Amino acid sequence: MAGEWIIWHNPKCSTSRFVLQALRDGGLEPVVRDYQKDPPSEAELRAVLAAAGIPARGLLRRKSPAFDELDLGGAARSEDELVAAMAAHPEVIERPVVIMPDGRARLCRPKETVFALLEAAG
């Protein structure tokens, strides 16, 4: 998938819809991955976390009921445990994540973060 714009998207999320539309309005047609129907593997999650320069906690959706049910807020949770939980329960992955053609990735929260990506894309 090198060379493509990719968005990990949840069509029910207004922020995710905003970011997808902003990419399209910017002249891009990203590969749209409904990450809840097609969850990323642990390896994909690790690659995106590395590309975004954030720890696993930075990609957790704290508003998800599963976040509390799985006790993911516990300080004792390791990176490996959090990545495994996200792979097994994609509803706890924050969205949207945009992966750029050069391999960098960004969690677009707040949603206006997408404009910096578009500006950098030129």
**Given 1, 8, 12, 13, the catalytic residue:** 13
**Residue among 120, 86, 85 at smallest CA distance from 8:** 86
Polymer length in residues for the chain: 122
DSSP character for 38? Answer: S
Three-state secondary structure string covering 46-98: HHHHHHHCCCHHHHECCCCHHHHHCCCCCCCCCHHHHHHHHHHCHHHECCCEE
**Would you call 18 helix, strand, or coil by DSSP?**
helix
**Is 13 tagged catalytic?**
yes
Find out whether 51 and 104 touch, Cβ atoms under 8 Å: yes
Q: Which are the catalytic amino acids?
A: 13
